[in-house]
Structure formats: C-alpha cells, structure tokens
Structure 1
Amino acid sequence: MGSNPKDWIAASLLPGVGPAGLKRLAVAGIPPSRLFLHDPEALRLVGARTRTLRAMESFDRAVGPEFERFERCLEWLEEDDVCCLTPDLDEYPALLLEIPDPPGLLFVRGNADCLALPQMALVGSRHASRSGVANAYRFSAALSEAGMVVTSGLALGIDGAAHQGAVDRDGVSVAVFGTGLDAVYPRRHAGLAQRILDTGGAWVSEFLPGSQPLPGNFPKRNRIISGLCAGVLVIEAAPRSGSLITARMALEQGREVFAIPGSIQNPAAHGCHQLIREGAVLVETVSHVLEPLAALLGFYAAQSNAPEPDCAPALPQSEAQLLEKMGYDIADIDQLVALTGLPMAQLMPLLVSLELKGVIESVAGGYLRCASDT
C-alpha cells in the first residue's frame, strides 16, 4: 500500500525536485507528504533549496502556478480510464523501477495491468523506408503472436508501424508519450492510439496533463521506453538519432539490444550497423529476438514453432528473375538493363509491379530490394 499519489504529484511540481529525488524518498520509505511538513531528512534527500521552500509555501496557501497545475492534474485524474502510478505502489512496473532515474510519476490511460507483462521495444527512424516500415510491422505482429507486449513511442515511421502490427493481431501495445496524456501527438496517430486502448494496451507518460511536445521531452521519454522492456529492437536509425539514444540507454539499464542490418547504401541502416559493431544482436528473424529473452522472461516462445514475419507472395517468373538479378544493393535503371538484357519498355512494368507489391522500393539512386521479401 503506497502513499497518496496526490502527494507525489505535488512534490514533483516543486522546483529542484526531480525523478532522482523522488526515487530517494521511495527507497528510504519516506512519503513525499513529509516534505510539506518540513521534515529535515525528506528535505535533505531531495536537495531542497530556497526556491523549493518558497514553492511549498505557495502550496500551503493554495496559490501560484505550481498549485494551479496540481489542481488541473487532479481534475484530469477523475476521468474513468486513467491513473497515476508512483514508485511506492505495487502496480508500478518492476523493471522500470530498476533504472537509475525512474519517473516519480507514471500517468497511465487504459489497461495499467499490461505494464507488468513481458515487453519488447521497437524503435527506429521517423523517416523510415518502405522496407523499414514493413520490417517493423512484421516483427511487431510476430512478437505479439509470441505473447510479447510491443512498446514504442507513437511517432511517425517505425514507431507507428510497430504499434500497428501489434493491434492488427489484437495484441497488446504500450505507447510512451513525450507529452501529457490529455492529447495525442502526433495528431495523425489519434486513431491508432485509440486502437491501442481498444486492444487492451495503454498510454503512459511521466509528463503532467497539458504538457506540450517540447524537444527536450522526447530524449527523457526514451529512457521509459527502454526501462519498461526486456529488450530493444532497432529498425533503421541514422548514426545520430533518438533511436540510438534509446539503445544506449537500454545498454546502461542492462537490457538486451537488437538491430536489423540493412544495405550499406542506406544511410538509415548505418546506426543499426554501428550498434551491431558495438555488440548488439544481429536480427534476421523473430527467433533471433526471442531466443536470448526466453530464459529471462520464463517462457519458450523462442522455440521452432514461434511465428516468423510474413513472407512475400509468390511472384510471376519474370518478376522473380528480375528480383534475383537485382541483389540487395541499390541498382539504377542502366544497371538493371545490363543485368537483365531487357529493353526499358519491358523492364519498367516489372519494376512498377514489384514496387506496388512492396517487394522493392524506389530510393535515391535507383531501386532497392526490401529485406522482408526473403
């Protein structure tokens, strides 16, 4: 039985009191209400300064901007499907509590119980290629069918495809917001976010209702994505990207990191290649993800009957022959004419057909075979 979440919310709004200070209170078994009683040990643990004490005085008088945000947050918490988890509650995710700076507040909309289930994070570029989106969708669907909760950040690109792959299999998905939970960001994912709730998943955030999508929020959000999960699978990432930040946070938190390789011609694959050089598990099938996690998670979904990402449909002979000659690097039209011996008039319809089927994609410099067609 934990202390009142209202006390944690009030303490979080005090200047200078961050997640680390709230964790120290939780570890010491000191309820945050003791701060407002000016308990010396509580004040020492959070490193209270003059501005902290002044804000506490404003709370006592029920005035000031911090108290106004507190009141708005309590009003939001009166909605039916929301709650606030704090580190001293049994319902707080155990894995998340292990990281160096777990959020002192974890707001949840939807099914909070799903946060205790085995989770796998899928992250990657917002500007993903067609093959990257296809890989995110297929691996997410396969992981869902194997019993994993798919967790991501609801961003465009890889994140959205990962959530979509889970909910399309009626699987459970968790979306970690970089804003308050009173509004969906980006707005174009409002329908997808609702489906996450409809299929038994949840939205989570450490940010109070009304918090806007500030750039600094998203790197902070990434530690929660990795902290909730047993492992992180990176699908397309530039060498300097939020996805690599998430992967490195995962390593610091003692989580498994996995990466899908891509073409050396694709800049979005270079971050994954860098992770693999640094020791991340190279992933080609879903079993490459599940096998290292099976012992940790206590289930055997990694055995031979585990589902694999869907294969591409059978192709007509002419298209299959063209695909075989393409290889896996970018090929321009002149190269393809030389490789196949086909005139342009015959080659172009085949390329268009393969692109419509999602087997190849048009990229800068020519055409690239999608990794998911194997």
Structure 2
Amino acid sequence: MTTGSPEYPDDLRYWLALHRAPLIGSRRFCAILAHFLSPRALFETKAADLAALGLKEKTIAYLRCPDWQAVEADLRWLSASGHDCLTLHAPRYPALLREIPDPPPLIFVKGDVSALSSRQVAIVGSRNPTPSGLRFAREIASGLVSRGFAITSGLALGIDAAGHSGALEAGGITIGVAATGLDRVYPRRHETLARDIVTRNGALVSEFPPGTAPRADHFPRRNRIISGLSLGTLVVEAAPRSGSLITARLAAEQNREVFAVPGSIYNPLSRGCNELIKGGAKLIQTVEDITEEFEAQLSVQCYEPSSFETGSGDDRASMQLLKYIAYDPTSVDTLVAATGNTPEAIASMLLILELQGHVASTPGGGYVRTR
C-alpha cells in the first residue's frame, strides 16, 4: 500500500480516523463527504462550526484528538500484500454497492479486489439447515458459477458456507462479507474456508477495521453489504425473523432481485422463504429460474460496441437494457455493473431509449423509466 497513489490518497489516514469517530455512522459520514468533499477538512474545522453541523460533543472531542494509534494500526495492516482499503471515492469501489442508500464510506478487502466487480448473486440462509438445504445451496452456487456469476455470502455456518464452498468446488469466484475486522475469522472454524476464498481469486470484505470483534449489531450492517454487492439475493432456508430475511428485505429496498426456495409448510426453516414468496420473491427450483431474470444482461453482452456504432441491433439491445432501469433514478455505473457493457455502449443505448420516450435523464446524471 502506498498512501500517495490514486487508490490511497494522501489523506487516507483522515478517512480511517473519521471511520473510527463515535456517533458517525455511514449515512452521517456520507453527509460529511457531501459537505467537505474530504474528511481531512473536517479535522481542520473549528469546534463551533462542527457543532453548527449537528455533531455531538463526544464526536467533536474525538475530532480534536483522534485515535492516531489505531489509525497507524490500520495502515500497518494495509501494508501487507493482498490487503486493501477502498474509499467511497476510489475508482475500484464496487459500483453497485455505491448505489445503496447507506454505502459503507470505506471497505477493507483481503484478496483480489477485482472480484468485487464481478456479477454477483448472494446466497444466504439458516445456520442450521437441513441436509437437502445444504445440497441445494452447493448445487445452485455451482450452477451459477458455470454461468459466469460469483457467489457472495456472509461466511456464516450452514447455507452461507455451502454457497461459498459450492462456488469454490466449481472453480468460481466467491466473496465473503465479514462482520468483524479482517484480521480474524468468525466463526473460527471457517478459517480454512476464508483462506481458500482469498487464495482462489476471491475476496473477503468488511467495513469494520482490523481488530474489530463480532457483535450482534454488526451482522445487520454486514447484510446490507451482501445484498448491496449483488444483483440479486437467494434465500435457501430461513426461519421467521432470521437474519437472512433481513438481507432479503434490504435487497428489495436496494431495488435488487429477491429469490427464495419453497419448502414444506411443516418445516420451520421453510416458513421464512414461503413468506418471501407470498410477498413477491421469485420461487426458485433450478439455476435457470435465477439466470432467466438476468437474460437481458447476458444478451446485451453479446453486442460489441462496434455493433452500436454500425447501427445493427440497436433497438433490440436498448430494449434489453430497459429492464435494468427503474422508475427511480438509475445511474450509468449501475447499468455498467449489471450488464458488463462499456459506459460508451450504455450511453448509446440510453440515447436511443430517450429518443423513443422510454426513459428520461435526471439532474443527477441518472435515468428513469417513463413508461
């Protein structure tokens, strides 16, 4: 790691220091970035001005005397090979994750950062699944890998581990999102799994700095990253009020696909999935049930940029892109991540859709469906 590179700006230590500030969550951090552009400016602002921004006394006291010792520990961890930190402003920060309402201001990464740019489907579920649930999670992960998707999950026991393992066994990429610092693995019995993910072209991700132990309130925060990195989330088995249902709810709020595997009404682990299906999640029995939702994405990949320049297939490709444009503003970055096309190709298709009256541009640079 070199703090003078574009990925690690000179003021990275101020990002890390603000990240550790008390009473500064991801939403407040992002609001600060909108006001100051760089965290460094916040540390150079007078206390009275900080109070005028609504910051609490405890936060202001920390900003006057940050925990630089902890920041130096973060920087030492980042100096190791294969360790990275992506700030919200970094070019390699995952485009889909940046689009969620409360993106983590920075993420620590161990492994191959490029894995975060792959097309991901999240697989989540019970920590105490049935044998058939475990088998299905492994098989669906393997099937998705064979069709070019990466598998994202939370490193937990049960369905999470089966999804990661199924991807690895099929020779694919998998991303593990941790609820701890990346200097430790939770649960500890998954140390081998975590090592395999890192050494086989995958990555571990966390918004928590090194040294952070597992806490109950960390897991819902982790879940929004699992769904935020992914085009869709599949719940294999889940009891009512489980963490997996939180991930599914977050995926829906993030305008991502939600899939669920049905089960017997007598199986407690099927109740959560059956409720999701009643609420609109897509019922999944085969890998094709998932991949057909992304047919437009896969079809658009068949068009090279030259086909847009020569005028062949323009209308068909543009209409396929339309599926990924919501009635709320959708950014070009999101469309690039969802389709694999270049920004130039996306721009060409958007122009056609706008001229045909299917979409309209918004002041923030996004696009919305008009019909």
Query: Shorter-chain-normalised TM-score: which range?
Result: 0.7 to 0.9
The alpha-carbon deviation at position 240 of structure 1 amounts to: 1.1
- Residue identity matched to 1:73: D
> 2 CA distance for matches of 1:187 and 1:226?
24
1:33 paired to 2:40: yes
Superposition map of 1:284-303 within 5 A: 284-296=285-297, 298-299=300-301
- Secondary structure in structure 2 of the residue aligned to 1:293: helix
- Secondary structure in structure 2 of the residue aligned to 1:7: helix
1:279 paired to 2:280: yes
Structure 1 residues 185 and 42, CA gap change in structure 2 (3 angstroms) = farther
- Residue identity matched to 2:270: A
> 2 CA distance for matches of 1:169 and 1:46?
51
- Residue identity matched to 2:108: F
Structure 1 residues 57 and 89, CA gap change in structure 2 (3 angstroms) = same
- Secondary structure in structure 2 of the residue aligned to 1:85: strand
The residue number in structure 1 matching 2:13 is 6
1:153 paired to 2:154: yes
> 1 CA distance for matches of 2:49 and 2:204?
31
Superposition map of 1:133-172 within 5 A: 133-172=134-173
> 1 CA distance for matches of 2:203 and 2:45?
36
Taking only aligned residues, the RMSD between alpha carbons, in angstroms, comes to 2.0
> 1 CA distance for matches of 2:254 and 2:46?
32
The residue number in structure 2 matching 1:242 is 243
- Residue identity matched to 2:232: G
The residue number in structure 1 matching 2:25 is 18
Aligned length: 294
> 2 CA distance for matches of 1:94 and 1:109?
18
The residue number in structure 1 matching 2:202 is 201
- Residue identity matched to 2:189: R
Structure 1 residues 149 and 40, CA gap change in structure 2 (3 angstroms) = farther
The alpha-carbon deviation at position 47 of structure 1 amounts to: 3.8
Structure 1 residues 226 and 166, CA gap change in structure 2 (3 angstroms) = same
Superposition map of 1:120-139 within 5 A: 120-139=121-140
Q: Check conservation: 1:124, 1:159, Cα contact below 8 A.
A: yes
- Secondary structure in structure 2 of the residue aligned to 1:233: strand
- Secondary structure in structure 1 of the residue aligned to 2:205: strand
The alpha-carbon deviation at position 203 of structure 1 amounts to: 0.1
The residue number in structure 2 matching 1:309 is none
- Secondary structure in structure 1 of the residue aligned to 2:175: strand
The alpha-carbon deviation at position 28 of structure 1 amounts to: 4.9
After TM superposition, the structure 1 stretch with the greater mean CA deviation from structure 2, 226-235 or 97-106, is: 97-106
- Secondary structure in structure 2 of the residue aligned to 1:284: coil
Q: Check conservation: 1:32, 1:42, Cα contact below 8 A.
A: no
- Secondary structure in structure 1 of the residue aligned to 2:65: helix
Structure 1 residues 42 and 17, CA gap change in structure 2 (3 angstroms) = farther
The residue number in structure 1 matching 2:211 is 210
Q: Deviations over 1:54-94 (max 9, x none)?
A: 112223xxxxxx33322221221111110111111111111
Partner of residue 49 from structure 1, selected from 47, 56, 69 = 56
Q: Check conservation: 1:124, 1:237, Cα contact below 8 A.
A: yes
Give the unaligned 5+ runs of structure 1. Answer: 60-65, 301-374
Identity over the aligned pairs, expressed in percent? 45
Greater Rg over alpha carbons, structure: 1
1:88 paired to 2:95: no
The alpha-carbon deviation at position 154 of structure 1 amounts to: 0.6
> 2 CA distance for matches of 1:100 and 1:128?
31
The residue number in structure 2 matching 1:253 is 254
- Residue identity matched to 1:227: G
1:79 paired to 2:51: no
> 1 CA distance for matches of 2:63 and 2:25?
15
Q: Check conservation: 2:123, 2:152, Cα contact below 8 A.
A: yes
> 1 CA distance for matches of 2:71 and 2:137?
38
Q: Check conservation: 1:21, 1:46, Cα contact below 8 A.
A: no
- Residue identity matched to 1:19: S
Q: Check conservation: 2:47, 2:60, Cα contact below 8 A.
A: no
Q: Deviations over 1:315-364 (max 9, x none)?
A: xxxxxxxxxxxxxxxxxxxxxxxxxxxxxxxxxxxxxxxxxxxxxxxxxx
The alpha-carbon deviation at position 39 of structure 1 amounts to: 6.7
- Secondary structure in structure 2 of the residue aligned to 1:294: helix
Q: Check conservation: 1:21, 1:47, Cα contact below 8 A.
A: no
The residue number in structure 1 matching 2:117 is 116
Q: Check conservation: 2:185, 2:191, Cα contact below 8 A.
A: yes
The residue number in structure 2 matching 1:331 is none
Structure 1 residues 31 and 44, CA gap change in structure 2 (3 angstroms) = farther
The alpha-carbon deviation at position 46 of structure 1 amounts to: 6.8
Q: Check conservation: 1:25, 1:42, Cα contact below 8 A.
A: no
After TM superposition, the structure 1 stretch with the greater mean CA deviation from structure 2, 189-198 or 253-262, is: 189-198
Give the unaligned 5+ runs of structure 2. Answer: 1-5, 303-371
After TM superposition, the structure 1 stretch with the greater mean CA deviation from structure 2, 239-248 or 7-16, is: 7-16
